[in-house]
C-alpha cells in the first residue's frame, strides 16, 4: 500500500480541524440545547461534554487514517474492516445524513432570511401566520438547493470560487457573536410565561437534557470525522496529529462556550428556553445583534448568515456526488454515476440525485428540528461503526506500529467513550423520537438489501458476458 506524501504542517492541520467543525449549527442549536436543560450549568455542561466526545472521536479517526491512508475515506475503511455490504449501506446512510444536514442548514437559512423579507414586504411589526413562515422557509431552502445545483452544473471552477469566502464569513460572524460579551447589557426578563421552571432537577431531568442536548451538540461539533482522510498526509504524524487535534478542538470548545455565554448574557437563559417553544423559529444570533448594535444589525447579520448557509449548501453539493463516483468506481453503483459532462466535466447523475434527495428531505421534514434528529440518528451508525473499526485495524496493522504513524495514548479509552456517547445519543432519539429513529433504521436496512440486489444483478451481468464471449479452439 503506497503512502501519500506528508505535506500538511501542524498549523495547516489545526486550521483544517477547525474549519471542518465550525459550521451553521452554533447559530441555531443552542436553543435546542436550552430547551430541556434544567439549569444554566447543565446547559454549559452539555457543550463541554460534546467537545470532549469530539476530541475522543477526532483522535480515534486520526489513528484510523494513519493506519489506513487510502483515497475513499469511509467506504474503504468499512470495506476493509467489516464487509462491502456494510461499507455500501453506511456510506449510503452517510450520503442521506449529509443530505439531511444540507436540508437542515438550508432551513436555517430560510429562518434567518424570512426574518428580513417579511418585515420588508409587510412592514415592521408584522406577525405572519405560522404556516406562511414555514412555507417561506421551505421555499428559500428549495431555492438555495436549486440555485447551487444549477451553479454546480456549470462546472467545478464556478462552484469552487464560491467557497473562497466561506471561512471569512464564518470568522466575521463568530467575532460579531462574541462582541456582546464586551458591549451587551444584562438580559431582559423571560419573554413568555411558558418557561419550564425546574426547582429541583431530578436525575431524569439531567438525562433528558443530556440526551436531547447531545443530539444538537453532536450536529454542531460534527465534521472532525473527516480527519480520517489526512492521517498519512500530515508531517510527523505521531507528534503533529494529536497536537493539531487538541489545539483545534479546544479552540472550538472555547469559541462555542464564549458564544453561548454571549447568548445567555444578552438574551437570557429563560428566553432561550422560551424561544424553543415558540411557533416561529428563533433567530438568536440576529436577535442578539439587534439588542447590542440596534435593529438594523439584525437584518445585516441575517444576511451574513444566509450567505454562509449558501456556501455550506454549495460545499455539500460539490463534495457528495464524488462519494457516489468512488462507489461506482468499485462497481457498486451503476456506470452512469461515472459519466461526466463532455464540456463541463460535471458528474451530472450523482449531482442530480443528491440535490433531489436534499429537496425530498426538506419537503418531508419541513422544519429544522426533525431534520436535525434524522441526520444525527443516521450519523450514529456511521460514527459507532467507523470508530469501532480501530479495534480491527490495530491487530491487522501491527507492522506499522514502529513506522512513525499516530497511535493514541490511553487506548482503548477514547474510542470506547466515543462509542458509548453516540450509543447514548441513538438510544435517546429512539426513546424520545421513535418515529424518526424507525425511519432511520428502515433506511439502513433498505440500503443493505439494495447492496445484495445490486450484487446479484452485477453477477448475472458478468455471467451473461462470460457466456456470450467467443471461445478459442
Average pLDDT of the chain is 76
pTM of the model: 0.75
pLDDT reported for residue 196: 46
Domains of the chain: 10-191+199-461 (1.20.1740.10)
Give me 436's grid cell.
Answer: 424518526
- Could you report the per-residue pLDDT of 48-63, keeping only the tens digit for each? 999 999 889 888 888 8
What DSSP assignment string belongs to 257-320? HHHHHHHHHHT-HHHHHHHTTSSSPP-HHHHHHHHHH-HHHHHHHHHHHHHHHHHHHHHHHHHH
Confidence of residue 170 (pLDDT cuts 50, 70, 90): low
- Could you report the per-residue pLDDT of 402-437, keeping only the tens digit for each? 777 788 888 899 999 999 999 988 888 888 888 878
pLDDT reported for residue 413: 92
Confidence of residue 191 (pLDDT cuts 50, 70, 90): very low
pLDDT reported for residue 292: 73
Region 366-387: what's the mean pLDDT? Answer: 78
pLDDT reported for residue 453: 80
Residue 395, pLDDT > 50, answer yes
Region 120-127: what's the mean pLDDT? Answer: 62
- Could you report the per-residue pLDDT of 308-327, keeping only the tens digit for each? 777 777 777 876 787 777 77
135-144, 180-189, 339-348, 379-388 — most confident range: 379-388
Give me 315's grid cell.
Answer: 460545499
More confident residue, 70 or 387: 387
More confident residue, 290 or 123: 290
pLDDT reported for residue 38: 84
pLDDT reported for residue 434: 84
Any residues with CB less than 8 A from the CB of 295 and at least 6 apart, and which?
A: none
Does residue 136 contact residue 117 with C-beta atoms inside 8 Å? Answer: yes
Give the dihedral of Cα atoms 118, 123, 124, 130; nearest 10 deg: -40
Amino acid at each position: 500500500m503506497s503512502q501519500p506524501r506528508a505535506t500538511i504542517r501542524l498549523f495547516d492541520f489545526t486550521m483544517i480541524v477547525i474549519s471542518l467543525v465550525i459550521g451553521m449549527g452554533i447559530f441555531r442549536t443552542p436553543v435546542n440545547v436550552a430547551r430541556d436543560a434544567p439549569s444554566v450549568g447543565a446547559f454549559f455542561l452539555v457543550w463541554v461534554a460534546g467537545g470532549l466526545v469530539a476530541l475522543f472521536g477526532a483522535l480515534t479517526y486520526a489513528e484510523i487514517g494513519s493506519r489506513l491512508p487510502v483515497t475513499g475515506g469511509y467506504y474503504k475503511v468499512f470495506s476493509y474492516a467489516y464487509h462491502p455490504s456494510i461499507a455500501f449501506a453506511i456510506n449510503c446512510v452517510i450520503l442521506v445524513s449529509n443530505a439531511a444536514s444540507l436540508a437542515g442548514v438550508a432551513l436555517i437559512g430560510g429562518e434567518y432570511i424570512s426574518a428580513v423579507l417579511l418585515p420588508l414586504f409587510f412592514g415592521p411589526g408584522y406577525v405572519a401566520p405560522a404556516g406562511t413562515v414555514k412555507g417561506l422557509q421551505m421555499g428559500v431552502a428549495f431555492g438555495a438547493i436549486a440555485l447551487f445545483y444549477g451553479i454546480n452544473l456549470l462546472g467545478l471552477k464556478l462552484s469552487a470560487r464560491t467557497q473562497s469566502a466561506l471561512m471569512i464569513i464564518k470568522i466575521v460572524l463568530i467575532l460579531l457573536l462574541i462582541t456582546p460579551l464586551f458591549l451587551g447589557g444584562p438580559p431582559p426578563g423571560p419573554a413568555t410565561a411558558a418557561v419550564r421552571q425546574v426547582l429541583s432537577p431530578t436525575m431524569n431531568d439531567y438525562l433528558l437534557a443530556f440526551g436531547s442536548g447531545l443530539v444538537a451538540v453532536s450536529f454542531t461539533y460534527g465534521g472532525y470525522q473527516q480527519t480520517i482522510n489526512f492521517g498519512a498526509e500530515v508531517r510527523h504524524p505521531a507528534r503533529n496529529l494529536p497536537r493539531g487535534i487538541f489545539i483545534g478542538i479546544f479552540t472550538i470548545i472555547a469559541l462555542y462556550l464564549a458564544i453561548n455565554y454571549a447568548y445567555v448574557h444578552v438574551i437570557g437563559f429563560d428566553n432561550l428556553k422560551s424561544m424553543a417553544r415558540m411557533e416561529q423559529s428563533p433567530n438568536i444570533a440576529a436577535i442578539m445583534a439587534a439588542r447590542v448594535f440596534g435593529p438594523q444589525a439584525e437584518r445585516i447579520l441575517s444576511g451574513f448568515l444566509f450567505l454562509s448557509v449558501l456556501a455550506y449548501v454549495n460545499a455539500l453539493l460539490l463534495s457528495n456526488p464524488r462519494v457516489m463516483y468512488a462507489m461506482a468506481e468499485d462497481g457498486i453503483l451503476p456506470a452512469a454515476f461515472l459519466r461526466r459532462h463532455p464540456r463541463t466535466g460535471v458528474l451530472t447523475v450523482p449531482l442530480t440525485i443528491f440535490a433531489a434527495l436534499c429537496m425530498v428531505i426538506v419537503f418531508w421534514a419541513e422544519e429544522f428540528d426533525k431534520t436535525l434528529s434524522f441526520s444525527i440518528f443516521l450519523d450514529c451508525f456511521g460514527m459507532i461503526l467507523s470508530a469501532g473499526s480501530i479495534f480491527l485495524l490495530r491487530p491487522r496493522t501491527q507492522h506499522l506500529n514502529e513506522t512513525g504513524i499516530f497511535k493514541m495514548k490511553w487506548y482503548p479509552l477514547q474510542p470506547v467513550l466515543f462509542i458509548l456517547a453516540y450509543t447514548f445519543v441513538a438510544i435517546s432519539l429512539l426513546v424520545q423520537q421513535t418515529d424518526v429513529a424507525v425511519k432511520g433504521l428502515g433506511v439502513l436496512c433498505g440500503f443493505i438489501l439494495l447492496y445484495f440486489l445490486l450484487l446479484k444483478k452485477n453477477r448475472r451481468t458478468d455471467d451473461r458476458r462470460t457466456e456470450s464471449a467467443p471461445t478459442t479452439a
